[in-house]
Amino acid sequence: MPADLVELYQTGKSKKYRDVERSPELYGGFVRAVQIMNKAENTSVFQGYSFLHYEKLKHNYSGVSSVRLSNRFVHRLLFTELDDGIEIQLITIDDTHYGNK
């Protein structure tokens, strides 16, 4: 996991993700998503959590998957999956994939 996401997860603070840090809803969604990912044996588990809106992305984001941090915001946690299991490598939090509406 990138250092800025580790910092956000462990301390609730991050210079890069101030919007997530300052929103209890976004920060709570981030922590909840990471906890679910850490416990999951495979990505099919994510289908049982409809609020995550798990999906494999296409086009410019081919090879990347995402989960939503909150139903009210466009912020998504982007990550890669490995074929030989559930080892998830978190990449970033992105609030531009679907555009800001």
Output the DSSP codes for 22-39. H-HHHHHHHHHHHHHHHH
Q: What is the mean pLDDT of residues 52-72?
A: 88
Q: How many domains does the chain have?
A: 1
Say which residue the tokens 């462990």 belong to. Answer: 10
Closest to 37 measured CA to CA, from 89, 101, 83, 99: 89
pLDDT number for residue 2: 85
Residue 55: CA count within 13 A, CB half-sphere: 11
Q: Tell me the CATH number at 12.
A: 3.30.2310.20
pLDDT of 84 > 90? The answer is no
Domain that holds residue 72: 3-94
Q: Is residue 83 part of a domain?
A: yes
What does pTM read for this prediction? 0.84
Helix, coil or strand: residue 76: strand
pLDDT at residue 100 tops 50: no
Q: What is the side-by-side order of every strand in the sheet holding 76-81?
A: 55-56, 65-68, 76-81, 88-94
pLDDT band at 26; cut points 50, 70, 90: very high
